[in-house]
Structure 1
Amino acid sequence: MALASPIFEILKNFSEDFNNPVTLTLVFDRANLEGNKKLSVFYYDEVKKDWVEVTGGKVNAGTITVQVNHFTKYAVFAVGQGATVPAPDTKPTISFSDIAGHWAKANIKQAVSSGMVSGYLDGTFKPDHTVTRAEFAVMLMNVLQPQGTEEALTFTDTAKIGSWAQKAVAQAVQAGFIKGYEDGTFRPAAEITRAEMVAMMAGALDNLVEVNAETDFADNKDIPGWAKASVALVKQAGIVQGKGDNQFAPGDHATRAEAVTVLLNLLALKRS
């Protein structure tokens, strides 16, 4: 049995199953269709820690369509006669159609395998797309996996935070990683800057490294005062490196590839 698609995590904003079936169409890779293998969609049962086959899938060109009554992690597997589903701790091969030759390919595959982030239903990862503040909060909390209750959100634009991100944002607020803007907003859909990304991560380091309030980046003067200590902290911790000519570029928007790379560095440091 072989994984024939990325693993997609699909969420909704209520806990109950659907009253009526929902049509789900997933893209798969035909390279795994050797011999007498057939394609089937599976979902991951979080309680039993096992993959469960969804019956009745209809294959059409490069996609397979099934009817489901709930959302969770889904993937397409190429199944041979007598094949068994991989054990829950098996790390299946992650394949996206748009990461070949990308500088962050290995990091992307590791991040998806760890559950930090998911790909898109069209089989892409979009590594160079920018990350919103809400999206980065979710990635960060997937890495840290905090325990306990969440802080009640009091941002003036809380209603604009998607249900898929509210828990993560609340956890980040409770932990002190997020404070929002001076006008009381969080701005969940705003593209996160490198300075903002680093400021969110810095709180997770606790006292793992000592830090000076200045950095040795060539554009140190351009780093906002509120972010300077955070930038220095993550730089000294080896989590974030500069761009060309030793520039930190604090106002540049972080991409999905950059985000998963720095978060993997954070995870490695926390585990060391």
Structure 2
Amino acid sequence: MAHTLFRRLAPLGLALTLAVPALAAGMDTFVPDGTYPGFSDVSAGAWYAADVEQAVKLGLMKGKGDGRFDPQGQLSAAEAITMAAQVHSAYTGQNFTPGGSPWYENAVDYAEENGLILRKEFSDYSAPITRSDMAGIFAYALPAEELPRINRVASIPDVTSSTAHAGAIYLLYNAGVLAGTGDGTFSPDAPIDRSSAAAILNRLALPESRVTSALDTPVDGTTVENTDGAFRLTFGAGNWEEVQQDGAAGLTFTDQNGTLKALSFAKSGQNAATLTDFSVSRLTALRDALGGVELLEQPDVILFRGLPAVFYRYQEGTTVYTVFSVENSNSYVELTLAAPAGSEDAYPALLHTAYTLDLAL
């Protein structure tokens, strides 16, 4: 099931803190100390043998009965949801007991109550889950701070801004949880087998298992690095130029769809201690400059290219402005997409360009 980009991270008033629940047990709870019974269909020499053993010892996967694991079997939505619920409950210290009628009922209820899935997101929980839908569940099993960037993934060849759960996919790539296929693609619409799910699940629960990636697939167009080195953008047909505004260095791009502006604000020149503080200060300055602003969409925290971002939207005249604020190591980067109101094609096209944003580590 496809979704818009905006989903499931905590809503933002004009003062937001993303906090770990008080009962959090943390990452130390994931210790592969359970019993591994062995499976008749998992040979010792198989590439996935160690991953299957570790996932079972973590208590996050089990066999299919009759001494089998079914490594090539397709992972179902119910299985993926159950795994994510187990990771989330172990980390937060919340109570979760698999079971119910049908067997996945408790997992679905838990996942819906804790924002791991949307209500009625899946029409058939026994059906194979796509790789993108799996990423869209696993990405929310842990808070974003437990999935820090270790990779600088410029582009995943078959993942665009319109791909279901694109933000979650980029988050897990940058965190070293996902590694894609051998040719660098992700195959978002394909099913995933249980052996591959075991490897991904281990990387999610055990940071030391995460993998580095040199994936730097070029995007068609002209790639330009900002003068301060904080980010790169790739532009297609249109006009781009360097700009200086509000004490920030940046780039603008204009084509038939509208204008994209990206500005990098050095943290050393800001009073903002957090990304939220920065976004609120920028929104406040905008309100004062315009003599008031009526927001079409209130500030919210979303995933943008795998990065927690503060998002809001407003209209001035016949133009709708969509603003994303993301955090780099030494700067805050603000992207503003300006497209005509009522256009069905302009905003997605600008968002496609914005999705080439590549922040420095």
Q: Percent identity between the aligned chains?
A: 28
Q: Which of residues 173, 188, 201 in structure 2 aligns to 1:263? A: 201
- SS of 1:122 mapped into structure 2: coil
1:96 to 39, 60, 70: 39
Whole-Å separation in 2 of the counterparts to 1:207 and 1:185: 24
Q: Per the alignment, do residues 162 and 258 of structure 1 end up closer, same or farther by CA in structure 2, a change over 3 Å counting?
A: farther
Larger radius of gyration: 2
**Counterpart residue number, 1:251:** 189
Name 1:139's counterpart in structure 2: 83
2:183 counterpart SS class: helix
1:200 to 121, 137, 141: 137
| Inter-CA distance 205–102: structure 2 relative to 1 (3 Å threshold) | same
Secondary structure (helix, strand or coil) at the match of 1:245 reads coil
Question: How many Å apart are 1:120 and its aligned residue?
Answer: 2.8
Equivalent residues of 1:218, 1:246 under 8 A apart:
yes
- SS at the partner of 1:198? helix
The alignment status of 1:168 with 2:112, answered yes or no, reads no
Match of 1:239 in 2: 177
Residues 206 and 270 (structure 1), Cα distance of their counterparts in 2 relative to 1, 3 Å cut? farther
Equivalences for residues 1-272 of structure 1 within 5 A: 91-100=34-43, 101-145=45-89, 147-148=93-94, 162-180=101-119, 185-208=122-145, 209=147, 216-221=155-160, 224-269=162-207
Change (3 A) 1:187 1:90: closer
* More strand per residue: 2
Amino acid across the alignment from 1:118? K
CA distance in 2, matches of 1:149, 1:97: 33
Question: Mind listing any 5+ residue stretches in structure 2 that lack a counterpart?
Answer: 1-31, 211-361
Q: What's 2:311 paired with?
A: none
How far does the alpha carbon of each residue in 1:228-255 deviate from its partner, in whole angstroms, 9 at most, with x for none? 1110000001001110210100011011
Cα distance, 1:271–1:244 mapped onto 2, change above 3 Å: closer
Shift of 1:129: 0.1
CA contact (8 A) 1:218 1:245 kept: no
Distance 2:57 2:34 in 1: 7
- Dislocated runs of 4+, deviation >6 Å: none
Kindly tell me: are residues 246 and 122 of structure 1, through their superposed partners in 2, closer, same or farther at Cα, counting changes over 3 Å?
same
Q: Which of the two has greater helix per residue? A: 1
Q: 1:132–1:190: 8 Å Cα contact kept in structure 2?
A: yes
TM-score (norm 2): 0.42
Q: CA distance change for structure 1 residues 91 and 167 in 2, over 3 Å: closer, same or farther?
A: closer
Q: Cα RMSD (Å) of the superposition?
A: 3.1
Shift in Å at residue 268 of structure 1?
1.2
Deviation of residue 210 (structure 1)? 6.3
Q: Report if aligned partners of 1:149, 1:171 keep a CA contact under 8 Å in 2.
A: no
